[in-house]
Chains A and B, each alone.
Chain A
Amino acid sequence: MLSYSKDQRKFVLLMLLPAFGMTAAFFLWPTIYNIKNSFTDLSLLGLRDGGRWIGLDNYIELFNDSDFKKVVFNTLFWLTFVSVSIRLVLGFAIALFIESQLVRRLRLTVPLRMAALLPWATPDIVAVTVWKQIFDGRTGAINNKLVEWGFIDQPIVFLGDPSYVWPSVITIIVWNGLPIIVLTMAAALQTVPRDLYEAADIDGANSWIKFWHVTFPHALPALAVLGLLTTIWTFNNFIYVWMSTSAGPGTFSNVLATEVYLQAFVNFKLGLSSAIGTFMAALALVFGIIYFRYVVTKRFGGLM
């Protein structure tokens, strides 16, 4: 084990100090400020005077509000769990296909990787705007084709009909967010030692056994990290829902990030909005701790 002298430790600490300072200034201080605001009735119209201390009133209001439970459910289930699961599974499957022997033989690996990158290069706002046109109930491409081919008589209001709103929003999220999964998993698959496949071949293993016992265990660490990152990015995301449905129809697709915006900049209740933000941060923290302790460290600790 390496040992460091007292001077060396001081030097290391000194070198790390700017980074700690930056972290404190740009992350810690805003977090503390937000938590403080969550115990006040701060309004956007009262920024000069500051808010009045009201204790836990904002949190009590939130947890007594039945609509807020729906918002939490939308965020955790639809926006996060469903969209992240689809992206991980689909992204891994596409990466497997791109890195497969067949694609290699056809010399399509590089073109397919480039194609997979395209949605990633499209800004979120542009992607949502284009998808809104594709989903449009009157002139959208999907409705036009479905009517033309005789699958439906009347156009579907994808972003207005409750039966289709979440699947439509998730389609947009998956399309825009899939490339990072595909490319990261494709890179992870390239690190699997080829000799393991050769050894498996010698042992007579079929494709499924090779995938389950060789490919999958080597891909899991990357998949685990992607799972964590994608979950947090999606959980906090505001753009997709706000741009596509404005949290509607009614409050049907409202999520925590849009609720933060609505309370702060539509209802001007910065205190209440801060309480929702604090609740979101707490949820993300709990998820991160559980994920690292029980999923990443315990299951794949040896591989990371």
Chain B
Amino acid sequence: MQNMIKTALLIGCSAFIALPAFAETTISFRYNDPDPEVIEAAIEAFEAENPDINVELERISWGDSRTQFLREAAVGTGPDIVHIAFVWPLEMGSAGALLPLNDLIEKNGAGSGFDNFIATDLARDADGNIFGLPWTADTWTLIYTPAVLQEAGVDVPKTWDELQAASRMVTEKTGKVGFGFPAGSGATNTAWFLLNYHLWSNGHALVEEDGSGGFQVGVDTASLANSFKFFADFMGEGGNPQSNIALGGLADIGSLAPMVEGDQAFALVPPNVAKAVIAAYKEKSGSDDVPFASTGIPTGSVGGVSHMGGRMLGINANTEHADESYKFIQFLISNEFFSDFLTAQFPASKSALAALEYPAGLEGYGMQLPNARTWGAYANGKTPIGTMWSEAGREFGAILVGDKTPEEAAQSLIDTINDMLNS
């Protein structure tokens, strides 16, 4: 009897001691892009390698993700790991929503080193706190349909002015869409990107560093008005159908349908949209031949500049499982993850981008990425990008419906930015 009790106690104690080794830690990862099955497969692989960590996948739309996470983090909740835009880590870090990753990076490393990531200026604040790890990279570039260009007798445009002339010519000669873009004025309008690319390509910027640690507006009213007018002139006979004024963004139904149908010459899009256009064309035609090509952003007086966009990964400041969360992030930023799972996106590391081979139709991204700049001063000052983005779209919309002249809209946007800088 005594032996039985001793044996039972021994087993009990062993089980108690062994329990922590088998205890599962559950962490949550909120992923916002539209291909969750890829992440689910990756999570399965991660859990197989790390049986003590269970990862729960959460989903939310990009449109709601920033405000939802800020609300949750403020009251001590939210997912352990968040999928965030390049320009969010600093504002979320300053709001106390994201955990500084410095200690975790120092202890565990970060891929091939933190400096091997692109856009590190958007992840590290002035005090050296790192609030996110760049995960995927993208920029926008010009895709076009060579057959439509041939039909209209125009060459691939190299400058913004050539793009405008070619777009007009395509519509005049073929009745097809020239340079088609969503011209709606919602909070996540497309005009924001076009406007900035045009400004940057001509040596201007809405916000720039003032040389003494502060920030200032980097464009005068006339130049900004000129950029507004440049894109407004595309509407109608300029090659962008008037109906596009009702399209809120590239995700709107019908936004790129003419491209897929071979009825549009040019579009400025990020790689995931270009891939979606190619995939939609292949599905519709049943052909594997891609009738699209891509090239760099049209140039202005200082070149063709686009933004270095992408996603970062951050850890919620409220997490109780920082180590496990970071372990999962290390898995997500690994080369294996991009070669085995997330093959549709580009990794945000300099060495991986340099070694990347771009598939047919997407060559332009390889040409454009070296000419892409980060939002830099836009994200580091007192000017929330979301507010400027929304205001730029509203002002552009006001021009399109005749509420304001380009000059009035430009002055209004500059005043708004100055108000934010001086607040």
Contacts of B183 in A (CB 8 A): 160
Query: B257 an interface residue at 8 Å Cβ cutoff?
Result: yes
Give Cα A268 to B70, complex, Å: 10
**B385 to nearest A CB, angstroms?**
11
Contacts of A161 in B (CB 8 A): 242, 245, 401
Contacts of A155 in B (CB 8 A): 243
Q: Are B403 and A252 in contact (CB under 8 A)?
A: yes
Query: A288 an interface residue at 8 Å Cβ cutoff?
Result: no
Give Cα A268 to B184, complex, Å: 22
Residue from A45, A139, A162, A249 within 8 A of B254 (CB atoms)? A139
The range of chain A's interface size is: 20 to 34
On whether A45 and B401 interact (CB within 8 A), knowing A136-B254, A160-B242, the answer reads: no
**A149 to nearest B CB, angstroms?**
19
Query: A265 an interface residue at 8 Å Cβ cutoff?
Result: yes
Q: Are B241 and A138 in contact (CB under 8 A)?
A: yes
Query: B14 an interface residue at 8 Å Cβ cutoff?
Result: no
Query: B138 an interface residue at 8 Å Cβ cutoff?
Result: no
Which residues B243-282 have CB closer than 8 A to chain A?
Answer: 243-246, 248, 253-254, 257-258
On whether A133 and B401 interact (CB within 8 A), knowing A157-B245, A246-B248, the answer reads: no
**A48 to nearest B CB, angstroms?**
5
Query: A214 an interface residue at 8 Å Cβ cutoff?
Result: no
**B384 to nearest A CB, angstroms?**
6
Give Cα A251 to B186, complex, Å: 9
Query: B94 an interface residue at 8 Å Cβ cutoff?
Result: yes
Q: Mark A265-296, 1 if CB is under 8 A from B, else 0.
A: 11110000000000000000000000000000
Q: Are B257 and A139 in contact (CB under 8 A)?
A: yes
Give Cα A133 to B186, complex, Å: 17
Query: A250 an interface residue at 8 Å Cβ cutoff?
Result: yes
Q: Are A48 and B387 in contact (CB under 8 A)?
A: no
How many contacting A-B pairs (Cβ < 8 A)? 118
On whether A250 and B95 interact (CB within 8 A), knowing A157-B242, A267-B387, the answer reads: no
**A2 to nearest B CB, angstroms?**
48
Residue from B70, B75, B403 within 8 A of A44 (CB atoms)? B70
On whether A157 and B243 interact (CB within 8 A), knowing A250-B395, A250-B398, A250-B401, the answer reads: yes
Residue from B95, B243, B397 within 8 A of A48 (CB atoms)? B95
Q: Mark B135-154, 1 if CB is under 8 A from A, else 0.
A: 00000000000000000000
Specify the chain B residue showing the minimal Cβ separation from A45. Answer: B95
Q: Are B390 and A160 in contact (CB under 8 A)?
A: no
Q: Are B387 and A136 in contact (CB under 8 A)?
A: no
Give Cα A136 to B258, complex, Å: 14
**A239 to nearest B CB, angstroms?**
14
Contacts of B75 in A (CB 8 A): 47
Query: A159 an interface residue at 8 Å Cβ cutoff?
Result: yes
Residue from A48, A135, A136, A250 within 8 A of B96 (CB atoms)? A48
Residue from B91, B242, B248, B398 within 8 A of A137 (CB atoms)? B242
Give Cα A251 to B248, complex, Å: 13
Give Cα A266 to B389, complex, Å: 9
Which residues A117-161 have CB closer than 8 A to chain B?
Answer: 132-133, 135-139, 154-155, 157-161
Specify the chain B residue showing the minimal Cβ separation from A155. Answer: B243
Query: A86 an interface residue at 8 Å Cβ cutoff?
Result: no
Give Cα A6 to B398, complex, Å: 66
Q: Are B95 and A47 in contact (CB under 8 A)?
A: yes
Query: B350 an interface residue at 8 Å Cβ cutoff?
Result: no
Specify the chain B residue showing the minimal Cβ separation from A244. Answer: B246
Q: Which of A133, A157, A160, A265 has the most CB of B within 10 A?
A: A160
Could you list 12 A-B pairs, sorted by A, with CB under 8 Å? A45-B70, A137-B244, A137-B245, A159-B246, A160-B246, A161-B242, A249-B397, A249-B398, A251-B185, A251-B398, A252-B403, A267-B386
Interface residues of B (CB under 8 A from A): 67, 70-71, 74-75, 91-92, 94-96, 183-187, 241-246, 248, 253-254, 257-258, 384, 386-387, 390, 393-404
Interface residues of A (CB under 8 A from B): 44-48, 132-133, 135-139, 154-155, 157-162, 245-252, 262, 264-268
